[in-house]
Amino acid sequence: MTNDENIVLMKADLDQIDLVADLFDKYRVFYEQPSNVEEGKKFIRERMENQQSVIFLAIEKQEISVRPLGFVQLYPSFSSVNLAKILILNDLYVDQSARRSGVAKSLMQKAKEHALETGAKELTLETASDNHKAQHLYELIGYEKDEEHFYYNLLLN
């Protein structure tokens, strides 16, 4: 957890869409997508309005403003085999200026708390095979690498 008392974690709503959109754009650029803040904002707005995801936002309170530090986005899903609700931790991003400060760990803890509060039986995620820093964090806080399954994707566009 972060020790800075000026850092606040909150469930984002439409009032924070601009704060989330900037971080979301940086996240997408990290994964080699072209920058497009407006399309990202539209995407985030649709997820929020349709209650298709939950976003937790880390902000730093400053004298007259707030600075977005990071976010985590969760999508609901289900496991037919386990007859249970699961959450997919689809997106985690911390601004370069806030890395190694505990923000990512705090966001991951918030995601876990939300999963427990909403009755999910599993919190699952994936990351790029070369994202070793993220993998280290996930394993440090208790996630286990799935060695039994292969994942396949069919790109439709």
Q: How many residues are given for the chain? A: 157
Q: Is the pLDDT of residue 43 over 60?
A: yes
The residue ranges of every structural domain in the chain are 7-140
Torsion of the alpha carbons at 41, 153, 73 and 124, rounded to the nearest 10: 180
Residue by residue, DSSP assigns 47-93 as HHHTT--EEEEEEEE-SS-EEEEEEEEEEEEEETTTTEEEEEEEEEE
* pLDDT-derived band at 136, boundaries 50, 70, 90: very high
Query: Whole-model pTM?
Result: 0.90
CATH superfamily membership of 7-140? Gcn5-related N-acetyltransferase (GNAT) (3.40.630.30)
